[in-house]
Structure 1
Amino acid sequence: MARSVIVTGGFGILGTAAASAFAAAGDRVTRIDFAAQAEAPLVGALDIGGIDLTDAAATGAALERVVAAHDGIDVLVNVAGGFTWETLEGGSLASWARMQAMNLTTAATITQLALPFLKRSAAGRVINIGAGAAIKAGMGMGAYAASKSGVHRLTEALAEELAGTGVTVNAVLPSIIDTPTNRADMPDADFATWVQPEAIADVIGFLASDAARAITGALIPVTRGG
């Protein structure tokens, strides 16, 4: 039976990889993104652009569209987020608030609003994107790592909150993802060691599957090239 799957940040590299994998498996996929529209359509997907996921009213309206089109919500994949590299001395304090909003508040907002629908699902799934860099923050990674650490704690706390329901909550913690932006930012790096978006999508797909029904509250590192 086809599931209703939402991928936030669905117009980006990782979001597209995850959404494409679910669509290929026959699921009914919705991509929600802050960008107005995707660079390329995903056949069969419902694309909802221009959504600020820190805005509860806008997010709720987007979810209403999903439920009307796909008759509920079974899987929520929180990919939406951002990155900055700044030292504290030379950086902006506004970056800390921006990272918190982009990486943590977005996930908390849509997850809270989606919970009533996820709990009605026979096998609800919440899958967050954390970060390996949040386990031990390096120089310049403070604001980003702090926000992603918040995603990890959200994952753990919500998993316990939903114990006894049919909903599991887990997070994937990638190392550096092989994207055009990262290659441009780090041209001298060894790209062969970076994680492919499709490999992360495979882990997301597993966590959304019935085979992972006994896994909840897990923070799963994804660090091999793939």
Structure 2
Amino acid sequence: MNPRIVAVTGAFGVLGEVVATAAAAQGARLALIDFNTVPPDSLVEACGVDALVLTGVDLADPEQAGAAFEAVGARFGRLDALLNIAGGFRWQTLEDGAPAVWDMLFAMNVKTAANASRAALPWLRRSAAGRIVNVGAAGAVKAASGMGAYAAAKAGVHRLTESLAEELKAEGITVNAVLPSIIDTPANRADMPDADPANWVAPADLAEAMLFLASDKARAITGALLPVTGRV
């Protein structure tokens, strides 16, 4: 059986590294795409010398997204799954926050997912089981104070997921999203030192959910917004 070809955006971040490492452990061949220019050594080691590592890619720019996925197609000849993890977060109230943050979060979350998905489509169509899995947010279902800009951006990811699922369902390409609550990352632990991270979502658990949706076993699921919320 040919190994699955999986592209991970935001691959150098905490969640991206865990997801890519888990995919590699399942036998996938990886395309690792990130805006940052230096990948973690542990990620490169886990994914092997065959992994395609694309650094300094601004997926909010459609031309850069197109070039990245042309490189993926040139290396592997097809793409079986796109895992859109690239994104960003800011907490700010509307009154005291910077208006530019709204544009920034839209670009980091919605435009990156849309541009990557568009650029990946020609290669996903070469797969017998094409999959797109986005990362939304449980906090975009009902937004808390200070979450307006972030929740609005992630709500855009939710609507993109639903719309693209409808566009592609006749072709057998599924599009789904996971909706995590607080992910257990070093940054979140530093920002919330009094919270109990045992109640949060472990990156490995979120990776399992994403890789299931990216698998052939999830062929009957499309347009789903799957809550992955731990005990929050």
Give TM-score, length-normalised by structure 1: 0.97
Q: How does 1:46-57 map to 2 (within 5 A)?
A: 46-57=52-63
Match of 1:84 in 2: 90
The answer as to whether partners of 1:10 and 1:80 remain within 8 angstroms in 2 is: yes
* Aligned-pair CA distance for 1:120: 2.1
The structural deviation recorded for 1:152 is 0.2
Q: Which amino acid aligns with 2:210?
A: I
The separation in 2 between residues aligned to 1:148 and 1:101, in whole angstroms, is 11
Query: Which 4+ residue blocks in structure 1 deviate beyond 2 angstroms?
Result: none
Which residue is equivalent to 1:59?
Answer: 65
Superposition pairs of residues 178-197 of structure 1, within 5 angstroms: 178-197=184-203
Please name the residue that 1:43 is paired with: 47
Task: Judge conservation of contact 1:80–1:106 (CA < 8 Å) in 2.
Answer: yes
Q: Give deviations 1:157-188, integer Å, cap 9, x for gaps.
A: 01011121120000000010000000001111
Q: Secondary structure at the match of 1:172?
A: strand
Q: What are the residue-to-residue correspondences of 1:1-226 with 2, within 5 Å?
A: 1-40=2-41, 41=44, 42-44=46-48, 45-224=51-230
Identity %: 58
Deviation for aligned residue 1:68? 1.4
RMSD over aligned Cα, in angstroms? Answer: 0.9
| Code of the aligned partner of 2:135 | I
Whole-angstrom CA distance in 1 between matches of 2:31 and 2:39: 12
1:205 counterpart letter in structure 2: L
- Check the 8 A contact 2:90/2:150 in 1, yes or no: yes
Instruction: State whether residues 20 and 47 of structure 2, in contact with CA within 8 Å, keep that contact through their aligned partners in structure 1.
Output: no
Partner Cα distance (2:34, 2:121) in 1: 19
What is the aligned residue count? 225
CA distance in 1, matches of 2:203, 2:15: 5
Q: Is the 8 A contact 1:4 1:71 kept in 2?
A: no
Alpha-carbon separation, structure 2, partners of 1:167 and 1:116: 11
Quick check: 1:130–1:148 contact (8 Å CA) kept in 2? Answer: yes
**Hey, what's the Cα distance between the residues in 2 that align with 1:6 and 1:101?**
20
Q: Secondary structure at the match of 1:195?
A: coil
Opposite residue 54 of structure 2, the aligned amino acid is I
Q: Is the Cα–Cα contact under 8 Å of residues 183 and 191 in structure 1 kept in the other structure?
A: yes
For residue 193 of structure 1, report the CA deviation from its aligned partner: 0.1
Secondary structure, in 3 states, of the residue corresponding to 1:189? coil
Write the letter of the residue equivalent to 1:170.
N
The answer to whether the 8 Å contact 2:10/2:35 transfers is yes
Counterpart residue type for residue 31 of structure 2: T
Structure 1 residue 43: deviation in Å? 3.3
Measure how far apart 1:223 and its partner are.
Answer: 1.1
Distance 1:38 1:159 in 2: 31
CA contact (8 A) 2:29 2:47 kept: no
Q: Distance in 2 between matches of 1:222 and 1:159?
A: 20
Structure 2 gaps, min length 5: none
